[in-house]
Amino acid sequence: MHTSPRTPESRRRGPNGRFLPRTTLTEPAPVGENVVAAPDDPTPTEQVVTTETPTIERPDLELPEDRFLNRELSWLDFNARVLTLAEDPETPLLERAKFLAIFSSNLDEFYMVRVAGLKRRLNAGLPMRGGDRSSLRNQLEMISQRTADLVTRHSACFSDEVRPKLRAEGIEIVKWADLDDGERERQRTYFREQVFPVLTPLAVDPAHPFPYISNRSLNLAVVLKDPDDAGGELFARIKVPNNVPRFVTVQNDSRAARFLPVEELIAVHLDQLFPGMELQEWHVFRVTRNAELEVDEDRDEDLLQALERELAQRRFGPPVRLEVAASISDHVLDLLVRELDVTGADVQRVPGLLDMSALWQVFGECDRDDLKDRPFVPATHPQLADGEVPRSVFNRLRESDILVHHPYHSFSTSVQRFIEQAAADPDVLAIKQTLYRTSGDSPIVDALVDAAAAGKQVVVLVEVKARFDEVANIAWARTLERAGCHVVYGLVGLKTHCKTALVVRQEGNQIRRYCHIGTGNYHPKTARLYEDFGMLTADPEVGADVTDLFNVLTGYSRQRSYRRLLVAPHGVRAGLIERIEEQARIAREGGDALVQIKVNSLVDEETIDALYQASYDGVQIDLIIRGMCALRPGVPGLSENIRVRSIVGRFLEHSRVFRFGAGDDAEYWIGSADMMHRNLDRRVEALVRVTLPTAREELRYVLDLSMSDGTEGFDLAGDGTWHRHPANLTEPHLHLQEALLRRVIGKAS
């Protein structure tokens, strides 16, 4: 890798081991050598020694061309870290199965979105390259190779480790041959009554064209022979129905849990689907399709109608991946490749079970707490806990801001209660809220409907373009409109991703505004699975900012400057880089400088370059990146002062937190924005500055503990490889999430 010609040997380290900032000094003359007479001094025999004040120059960092890691491979590395937890014998057994399921779901989405996007650009002849300058074709080749290795690891983890250990615990995915006569008879009855009626075998011949294979459906490729015809083989396809469970329950009681894959149940009854024919072979296959939507918001007058048209076409997107059983015969595979119009590079041979996302079913149906993570009940935040006399959220917020940390703090007794109390409070005049994703039975939506019914002004920005939640969000938008809410869909060309709520309340002769700004969605179910921060506040400046932000979202305001907020697409990148550069200035002047950033992804080149320059200037930089990271840490002459860690655990690390400064006056920010082009340029995002001392201390504690040498995680090296920390898990270490559970739940109890 090419680096700056300034070598690390030319730099001095301070007592903490960090490289000191590079400075240009005018060297003082030794005493007695630089002697001048003061021009107006009456006694020229007196000598005055002068030393020039050091001047600080901003050093020019020569940025190497290969300073960025490939974002697609970095994402695959993230999924590899998920797989590592499945491979870890210290992970509870059913949790290992869950991580195998998460790996599969993640990979599906990666192909439907990222790989599909690369292929579309390649086919369109667009010469787009990533920050690492790799061509589209080269990126697709690297993805194919890396994915093949991961799929092999994934299958081996299940077949060699997890499946045998589950069997030893009485949890088994069985084959037809493993069933006794009574079990087979019960399965035959189930097939006849529940499965057979919804199966549709489709022949492929000159009169029957190759059928459409829907996205992510499981299918059987069946080869038959007509005993009365001397002709060749016949081919048919059977779609495994998605309205029956993937695993048929054979037994699930206190003694054992046994499941039969439904595709095997169908296969053993193929004679009922093709009576009079000879079965030659059958194989399972699966297709992943492009699921990206393309809506021209400038052309389409009704966004909802345009989006619904596109959603209807999503399942017809071109194939981007063909998964087949490793045992598939060559001639059947050739037929599938030809008919689906895919290339050999698009084919993944999977040893064993296809689509292990179905292991979620096993995880959910097996009532074995001894094989799962210890259950917990989220704590009510101490400032929201009811005493002898219950007090409203508004009374508490007039006293102090409240920083909640999910899933450790309960979503229902904090954010949900805030909205519900606002809906029921006769003094509340208006509620304004953004909804990006929410649950299917959302109490938040119910509260907004109740508020509208009570005559309050309710404004809801529903982001109908939220990927894979478009259908649900369209339904919510129409429900809210019918209830009398003012529903808007954001700004043309931008997704509204910020997590904000505003409550306007009449209090005597004044109007007071209460706000919530968070890092996660208003989704009670994922709030038990995702790690997120949220701030509830009655601060007038924040209230004024959020009011201005909603005027931007609902009207024609072009406001770009705020008091306590940074708002994308115009303010987040510039605001963060400005603060990074301020820390660089402090470091160049010899002060202690620190930047800590916790986000899901860091791939924005301009932000990364600012971090490189700050590191070069002597700033200590700690990056806690769950997913993609295109920055190379620890590279001599470029990023010696940068550390990157990823924490993957039972909860999805989802919060975005920013710290600038090493002392008590450090700035802390939380919000919705990751360091990606889409967040900084094509979305409405909001970060809020946290000023409450106790909240700042809580953020500092989480950031410092995340980067502690004793905390388990994955550290990124300059060559792009990730290494588990500590390397030997027999060494003393702590799990960040378990430590926070003990701390927060312990305080509440």
Residues with catalytic function? 497
Q: Do 351 and 401 fall into the same domain?
A: no
Residue 563 corresponds to which tokens in the numbers above? 């008091």
Q: Do 145 and 178 fall into the same domain?
A: yes
Q: Do 494 and 629 fall into the same domain?
A: no
Residue pair 497/467 in contact (Cβ under 8 Å)? The answer is no
Q: Do 458 and 604 fall into the same domain?
A: no
User: In this structure, is residue 476 part of a structural domain?
Assistant: yes
User: In this structure, is residue 53 part of a structural domain?
Assistant: no
Q: Do 482 and 627 fall into the same domain?
A: no
Q: Do 484 and 514 fall into the same domain?
A: yes
Q: Which residues are annotated as a binding site for ATP?
A: 106, 530, 626, 654
Angle at 494 between CA 298 and CA 548, to 5 degrees: 115
d(CA 739, CA 705): 9
- What one-character DSSP code corresponds to residue 317? S
CB atoms within 10 A of CB 511: 12
Rg for the chain, CA atoms, rounded: 30
Residue pair 659/700 in contact (Cβ under 8 Å)? The answer is yes
d(CA 503, CA 513): 6
CA 278 vs. chain centroid, Å, equals: 49
SS3 label, residue 197: helix
Query: What per-residue confidence (pLDDT) applies to 436?
Result: 86
CA 590 vs. chain centroid, Å, equals: 37
Q: Which residues are annotated as a binding site for Mg(2+)?
A: 437, 467
Q: Which residues are annotated as a binding site?
A: 106, 437, 467, 530, 626, 654
Residue pair 384/361 in contact (Cβ under 8 Å)? The answer is no
Q: Do 359 and 449 fall into the same domain?
A: no
User: In this structure, is residue 25 part of a structural domain?
Assistant: no
* Stated pTM of the model: 0.88
Peptide bond into 28 cis (omega under 30): no
Q: Do 416 and 547 fall into the same domain?
A: yes
Angle at 539 between CA 408 and CA 533, to 5 degrees: 20
DSSP code per residue over 686-729: EEEEE--HHHHHHHHHHHHHHH-TTB-EEEE-TTS-EEEESSST
Listed residues 536, 561, 586: the one ending a domain: 561
Helix ranges (H only) for 244-358 are: 262-267, 270-273, 303-314, 330-340
User: In this structure, is residue 22 part of a structural domain?
Assistant: no
Q: What are the distances in angstroms from CA 394 to CA 434, 555, 564?
A: 20, 28, 20
Query: What per-residue confidence (pLDDT) applies to 704?
Result: 97
User: Burial letters for 414-442: b for 16+ Cβ neighbours within 10 Å, e otherwise?
Assistant: bbbbbbbbbbebeebebbbbbbbbbbeeb
User: In this structure, is residue 27 part of a structural domain?
Assistant: no
Residue pair 390/134 in contact (Cβ under 8 Å)? The answer is no
Q: Do 610 and 541 fall into the same domain?
A: no
Average pLDDT, consecutive stretches of 10 residues, N- to C-terminus, the chain (749 residues)? 40 46 38 35 36 50 92 97 96 98 96 91 78 89 95 96 97 96 96 95 87 93 89 90 94 93 96 93 94 53 55 68 95 94 92 94 95 95 82 95 97 97 97 88 93 95 73 82 89 89 97 97 94 98 97 89 95 97 97 98 97 97 98 96 97 97 96 95 96 97 96 96 86 90 75
User: In this structure, is residue 3 part of a structural domain?
Assistant: no
Task: Give residue 204's domain range.
Answer: 71-289+318-371
Listed residues 561, 580, 606: the one ending a domain: 561
Question: Please, which contacts does 367-375 make with residues 24 or more away whose CB atoms are closer than 8 Å?
Answer: 368/94, 368/169, 368/171, 371/92, 371/93, 371/94, 371/95, 371/169, 371/171, 372/92, 372/94, 372/95, 373/92, 373/95, 373/650
Peptide bond into 30 cis (omega under 30): no
Cβ burial, residue 735 (10 Å; 0-12/13-18/19+): middle
Q: Do 512 and 577 fall into the same domain?
A: no
Q: Do 169 and 224 fall into the same domain?
A: yes
Listed residues 347, 371, 395: the one ending a domain: 371
Count up the domains in the chain and report the number.
Answer: 3
Q: Do 147 and 119 fall into the same domain?
A: yes
User: In this structure, is residue 29 part of a structural domain?
Assistant: no
**CATH code, domain carrying 448:** 3.30.870.10
User: In this structure, is residue 41 part of a structural domain?
Assistant: no
Q: Please enumerate in sequence order all residues whose Cβ is within 8 A of that of 519, keeping only pairs 6 or more positions apart, or say none.
A: 499, 532, 533, 534, 654, 655, 656, 657, 670, 671, 672
Cβ burial, residue 491 (10 Å; 0-12/13-18/19+): middle
